[in-house]
Structure 1
Amino acid sequence: MQQIAGTATPVSGIQHRLRAGGYEAIIASVGASLRVLRDAHGDLVVPYKADEMRPAMRGALLAPWPNRTANGRYEFGGAVHQLPLSEPERENAAHGLVAWNDFTVTAKNESRVTLVGMIEAQPGYPWRVRLETSFDLDADGLTQRVVATNEGTAPAPFGVGGHPYLAAGPAHAGAVDAWFLELPADRFIRVSRGRLLPVAIDSVAARDGMFDFRRRRLIGSTVLNHAFGDLHRDASNRTRVRVTDRQGFGVELETDASTRWIQVYTTDAACPEDRRQAVAVEPMSCPPDALNSKLDLITLEPAASSSTEWTIRRAADTARGESRAMHST
């Protein structure tokens, strides 16, 4: 494992480069963020520069809740808690408390790095939770594992997620319109137009199936910023989401059973030059506003831990995709 040298620490934190199995990954310590993941055929996630403040949540770790909490206000353990409104334009607390924390490396080699960060007790979240996140790179792709441990003396509410921006080809404005999505989920959460908060849980077959991607189909002009649940799982209790080009060549994200929901976002709110340049596929242990709904929210007892993991790899879904992969070398 090589730590990238420099005269000063870049804005995105200390950089950790991993190489294995034909892949290269770079992890930035701020937010334990996946800054780069590529293979010989190109980027699997949309990268950003080391000395650049991370654009939005691109590649960040989300904890102790993913997505949004309405008004930053919730009840737990008989008390009402008020979080800072990190998304003031929508009056929400968004994406947890660690995305801008600097994580410390505790172990590393050429293909693996482990980073640790702490959620300290604070107004709105008066619990102390230790986060250990490891990145393992091999021929099967990049696996990120997150272990959360309650180091306090009272039960803590907890949720976790990731925020990788997947790319099935060169990332540019409008690229998403020509890509395909395969998302084996039976339900999705309808959200309010302005605040993107849950309104109801619907079958993906509703609304003429516009949110039904159980079979691979073109994204086209579909605007997605929705959480999907009732995930289909294989014999190993894992779910796979694929973003691919017309030839079936692209990226696959595989989650374990701890991922109960997957948020999909077609980057429509980005600046014009980045709009619809990638598909954020966000593995989440709980849905949006889970601190209020309590749906799939984890209660971490004192000294207890929970873990979740996901893997990102190159996908070649069809013989044509495999052919493209061979001819691009």
Structure 2
Amino acid sequence: MRLRAGDAEVTVVPAEGCRLSSLRVGDVELLAQGSGSGAFVMAPWCGRTADGVFRNGATTHRLPLNAGRHAIHGTVREQAWQLADLAEDGRSAAFVVDLADPWPYPGRVTQIVELAEDGSGLTLRLGVETAGDSFPAQAGWHPWFVRRLRPDGPEVALDFDPAGQLVRADGIATTEVGAPQPGPWDDCFTMPDGVDVTLRWGQELELSVTAREEWVVVYDEQAHAVCVEPQSGPPNGLNTHPRLVTRIEPLETATTWSWRRPAPPAG
């Protein structure tokens, strides 16, 4: 499904986890292409859950291991979603999916995808609801932004000012917050005033990723793409920072990606 506004076009694939398979601005593609690329939804958890184990009160649950000895990136990215609503102007749509095995609690995840009216940005919204008991959950996005907009174009540069970086042990983020370290990264950063990361492809394009959440994972260890992942909690957060979804309080989170073409240098 394609949504359009101004010179921007986003392609959503409900059958593949409601993944954004393409985001084009003018004649350039911002998302890496191919299976598993684009931008996918992480829910009902983000990143790695250590040893695939989490607790809800006194109850221990075990999730299938799909990242070595850990469980990674939730379940809904592997499910087929359904279209719930499509705006008449063709620039926004809503999609839903029911939580299912191996997640042990009934519920629903909703994603709203909306291009700005003038095509200058994209807002994504996620909601996680329970259909029964309360449970801890997380939600976020895992976009793969291209390193270069064109084969001979400049490599993307990241600009952000995190307050801290979660210390990792055996590849898992701990609760210890240290000073931000130089990359390359596969790390979670804290931004207490809200996620605010800018990607710059020289003078070709500038893209800002913002969210009200304080957690963002940056992954730049691949040659073809970099990932800037705003999320409602840190990796392993089902255990370290549990956020309960209840009948009266769903989990809701959003991110906005806005872009502009920088002014040419003076002179």
> 8 Å contact 1:167–1:251 — kept in the other structure?
no
Which position in structure 2 is the counterpart of 1:183? 160
Q: 2:85 aligns with which of 91, 107, 112?
A: 107
Which position in structure 2 is the counterpart of 1:159? 138
**Distance between the aligned counterparts of 1:231 and 1:160, measured in 2?**
17
Secondary structure of the residue aligned to 1:34 is strand
Give the partner amino acid of 1:102: A
Q: Give the structure with the higher percent strand.
A: 2
- Show the 5 A alignment for 1:290-309: 290-293=237-240, 295=241, 297-309=242-254
Which is further off, 138-147 or 283-292? 138-147
**Distance between the aligned counterparts of 2:191 and 2:94, measured in 1?**
31
Secondary structure of the residue aligned to 2:148 is coil
Q: TM-score, normalised by structure 2?
A: 0.88
1:280 aligns with 2:249: no
Residue 196 of structure 1: CA displacement? 2.1
> Which structure's CA Rg is the greater one?
1
Per-residue CA deviation, residues 257-295 of structure 1 (Å, 9 max, x unaligned), is: 2x22000001x2xxxxxx3222111011000111221x2
Q: 1:134 aligns with which of 82, 91, 112?
A: 112
Structure-2 change in CA distance of 1:79 and 1:307 (3 Å) = same
Per-residue CA deviation, residues 121-145 of structure 1 (Å, 9 max, x unaligned), is: x45x321121111111122311111
Structure 1 residues without counterparts, runs of 5 or longer = 1-15, 49-53, 211-221, 234-238, 269-274, 325-329
- Show the 5 A alignment for 1:114-125: 114-120=94-100, 122-123=101-102, 125=103
Residue 37 of structure 1: CA displacement? 0.5
Residue 245 of structure 1: CA displacement? 2.6
1:322 aligns with 2:267: no
Residue 314 of structure 1: CA displacement? 1.8
> 8 Å contact 1:24–1:39 — kept in the other structure?
yes
- Show the 5 A alignment for 1:221-236: 222-233=183-194
> 8 Å contact 1:74–1:81 — kept in the other structure?
yes
Q: TM-score, normalised by structure 1?
A: 0.73
Give the partner amino acid of 1:197: I
Which position in structure 1 is the counterpart of 2:7? 22
Structure 2 residues without counterparts, runs of 5 or longer = none
When the two structures are aligned, how many residues end up with a matched partner?
259
Give the partner amino acid of 2:60: V
Provide the identity percentage: 23
Which position in structure 2 is the counterpart of 1:12? none
Residue 184 of structure 1: CA displacement? 2.8
**Distance between the aligned counterparts of 1:172 and 1:198, measured in 2?**
35
Which position in structure 2 is the counterpart of 1:260? 214
Structure-2 change in CA distance of 1:226 and 1:315 (3 Å) = farther
Secondary structure of the residue aligned to 1:185 is coil
Secondary structure of the residue aligned to 2:97 is strand
Q: 2:149 aligns with which of 149, 152, 170?
A: 170
Residue 171 of structure 1: CA displacement? 6.5
Which position in structure 2 is the counterpart of 1:244? 200
Residue 303 of structure 1: CA displacement? 4.7
Per-residue CA deviation, residues 48-107 of structure 1 (Å, 9 max, x unaligned), is: 3xxxxx32x6411110100001110122121111111021xx200000011110000011
Structure-2 change in CA distance of 1:286 and 1:47 (3 Å) = same
> 8 Å contact 2:84–2:96 — kept in the other structure?
yes
Which position in structure 2 is the counterpart of 1:203? 179
**Distance between the aligned counterparts of 1:141 and 1:39, measured in 2?**
10
Residue 248 of structure 1: CA displacement? 7.3
> 8 Å contact 2:38–2:145 — kept in the other structure?
no
> 8 Å contact 1:21–1:137 — kept in the other structure?
no
Residue 111 of structure 1: CA displacement? 0.8
RMSD of aligned Cα (Å)? 2.3
